[in-house]
Amino acid sequence: MSATYFKYIILGGGVAAGYAAREFASLGLCPGELAIISKEAVAPYERPALSKAYLFPEGAARLPGFHTCVGSGGERLPPEWYGEKGIELILNTLIVKVDLAQKTLESSSGNIFKCGTLIIATGATFIKLTDFGVQGADAKGIYYLREIDDADALIEGIHEKPGGKAVIVGGGYIGLELAADLIINKLDVTMVYPEPWCMPRLFTAEIAAFYEGYYQSKGVKIVKGTVATGFESDASGHVNLVKLKDGRELSADIVVVGVGARPLVSLFKGQLEEEKGGIKVDSFFQTSVSGVYAVGDVATFPLKLYNENRRVEHVDHARKSAIQAVQHIKATEEGKSIPEYDYLPYFYSRSFDLSWQFYGDNVGDSVVFGQTDPSVPKAKFGAYWIKDEKVVGAFLENGTPDENKAIAKVARLQPTVESKEALCASGLDFASKM
């Protein structure tokens, strides 16, 4: 079969793809030069909506409302936009084979695509409990969440079990955001996670205590320090029981699992350099193969601020890395150069009426300031992380846009602090006065 040629192909149709397409269009693109190939059925959208307003029982977010690039306050790109710009959206197309040296891609139905420059934007997928051989984990009624189809299946599951018992396995981002969604959907929710507190990859014990207390006040039951080791099902194969390692058993009508993500790199194994589970790239998101870039969740990139290569699984980096790669592609064509990627890590989450932002690095000692009593309405509190007497990370719950900007500035500038006590006493003022 002959190959369909494009000057540029973006493999993957998620967040990074949408922002890359917009950058190509703004820097100059001829019709027919760019194709996005995605296994999803819809044009790129802001994935974070799936674990938030998409699952609301009333007034839920629906496409085309959250196509990229609305998430960062930009113009929304509905499917027609791609047509107007002459960008080929090749949807419902799973790529199963890639030859990076030849820059050819083969789909599951045997179509061959070839390009001059390839941007890998395949993102990540959920880790499944069946991957660890958890007994009964393939039962009906056990849900994961990555793509819009997963969210639709979950909504159907919620509708089938009104008022039912839900068990959430995992205490990270998915666990916390989905526990809130299911409470709002009037399910009886229990969270189970192995660590002593939720969101351990970011939260300190004190920060976590606030969110756990708040969730409990909304009716979420929390079981910590244990894992799901097996599931039992009814005669129709639908889950009805979760067995825990500590011997306890939880009845369940629905189970949602969020035990981490795995970058989708297997198509490229042995063809390029990898590091820390991702595709190793330079400050312009070029991989070790000429003319091949990797952006978003799959890329392990130089985090200049910390002089270290890292992979980041968050939306802000997906957007910015895509823009950086496209700017580099276009600049190189014109014989120009662009500055290196100089990223300040930024993570956020929203659930119930809570909303936090974090900037920088959560290493070293930490101090917490403000109102950490979850029973106080609209409590505002924050934290700083201090390493080598410098503030390297900052967290704020319920901040205003200006306050969030202030904590971002602190994390970027890394000011020196006299003492933890003084920092704790000045709290948010420390950031606001910078």
Name the site residues for ligand FDA (rule: CB under 6 A): 12-17, 37-40, 47-48, 50-51, 94-95, 121-124, 145-147, 264, 267, 296-297, 313-316, 318, 347-349
Contacts of 433 (CB under 8 A, 6+ apart): none
Q: Do 394 and 431 meet the contact criterion of CB atoms below 8 Å apart?
A: yes
Which member of 13, 157, 172, 278 binds ligand NAD (CB under 6 A)? 172
Cβ 1 to ligand NAD, closest distance in Å? 36
Find the helix packing angle between 173-184 and 205-217, rounded to 10°.
Answer: 20
**Piece of the chain touching ligand NAD by CB under 6 A; list 189-197, 204-212, 338-346, 382-390:** 189-197
Closer residue to ligand NAD in complex, CB, 89/244 = 244
- One-letter amino acid of 380: K
Stretch that binds ligand NAD, among 112-120, 257-265, 280-288, 328-336 (CB under 6 A): 257-265
What's the min distance (Å) between Cβ of 127 and ligand FDA? Answer: 12
The residue whose two tokens read 């179509």 is: 111
Q: Which of 174, 242, 289, 323 binds ligand NAD (CB under 6 A)?
A: 174
Binding mask 31-70 for ligand NAD (x = CB under 6 A): --------------------x-------------------
Of 180, 208, 214, the closest CA to residue 374 belongs to 214
Closest by Cα among 6, 26, 219, 181 to 111: 6
Q: From the CB of 245, what's the least distance to ligand NAD, in Å? A: 9
Beta-carbon count within 10 A of 35 CB: 23
Phi, psi of 429 (to 5 degrees): -55, -35
Given ligand NAD, ligand FDA, none, residue 321, with its beta carbon under 5 to 8 Å by kind, binds none
* Contacted by 227, from ligand FDA, ligand NAD, none: CB < 5 to 8 Å by type: ligand NAD
CB of 5 to ligand NAD, least distance (A): 34
Binder of ligand NAD out of 43, 77, 228, 255 (CB under 6 A): 228
294 with 281: CB under 8 angstroms?
yes
Complex with ligand NAD: residue 47 or 328, whichever CB lies closer: 47
- For the bound state, the minimum distance from the C-beta of residue 199 to ligand FDA, rounded and expressed in Å, comes to 13
Question: What is the torsion angle, in degrees rounded to the nearest 10, for the CA atoms of residue 324, residue 328, residue 331 and residue 332?
Answer: 180
Helix (H) or strand (E) holding 31: none
Identify which of residues 248 and 336 has a Cβ nearer to ligand NAD in the complex: 248
What are the strands, taking DSSP E only, across 211-343? 221-224, 228-233, 239-244, 249-251, 254-257, 261-263, 274-275, 278-280, 292-294, 299-303, 308-311
Among ligand FDA, ligand NAD, none, partner that 94 touches (CB below 5 to 8 angstroms by kind): ligand FDA
Verify binding: residue 197, ligand NAD, rule CB under 6 A. no
Q: Based on the shown chain and the rule CB under 6 A, indicate whether residue 261 belongs to the binding site for ligand NAD.
A: yes
Minimum CB distance to ligand NAD, residue 129 (Å) = 7
E-assigned strand segments in 27-92: 34-37, 88-90
* 197, 224 Cβ separation under 8 angstroms: yes
Alpha helices (H) in 53-114, listed in sequence order: 79-84
Residue ranges that bind ligand NAD, judged by CB under 6 A: 51, 124, 169-175, 177, 193-195, 200-201, 227-228, 258-261, 313-314, 347, 349
